[in-house]
Structure 1
Amino acid sequence: MSGNSSVGTSAVYEAGDQRNYKTGENPDQPDRFHEGKPHSHQALDSKDERSIANKLAREEKREHEADHKDPETELLQKDATLPARVHGNEPSKGAKIDQELQDEEEELLKQKGKK
């Protein structure tokens, strides 16, 4: 068996070596729909070729997202120990200290009549 020859039986070659695929038929290529990768565009990239309209639309979407806060984030700002307790764990020492400091500050503001 001569492995250097380009002629011979098909058993000499592996399954995909001598195959020619039509355009769009190559199994190694991803589908066009799934081709884009998440976070492939960076907002501050100077070489990004997105149009100005697309950049403006993205900034409007960011502003809209900033207006709507996550309810879990709002609860976290009120109680630092909440995430651990929700998951059935004991809050960390840092979370306990943060909560104590926050409670003390609220009391001081109430005493000063600002809240």
Structure 2
Amino acid sequence: MSGNSSVGNSQVYEAGDQRNVKNSELPKGERFHEGNVNAHSATDSKDQRSIANRLAAEERKEAQEEEESASKKDPTAPAIAHGNEPSRGAKIDKELQEEEEELLRKKGDAMPGKKN
């Protein structure tokens, strides 16, 4: 017996019998159609989520909206609400916002014919 095979003569095997096929050579089937973005509506009555899950999702949505509106009024509010110190950028944003509001108040007071 010639060769290094311990199961028989190496001439018995063809070239492709003991080789792995490359992934690029494998036949590719059609890919499964993935779900569309926003395919599920949170208020869908036919959805199988429980009422408690729907209520919890609505509460999370409302809390997120409140936090977003608070951050527009005060850039440091989200960090303070979570018990953290506001970042340097948030502090600077708050200072700039206060300066701009003061300038607008001064301009508003200086405009003739405007009543407060």
Instruction: Answer whether TM exceeds 0.5 for this pair.
Output: no
TM-score (norm 1): 0.40
Query: TM-score, normalising length from structure 2?
Result: 0.40
Max Rg structure: 2
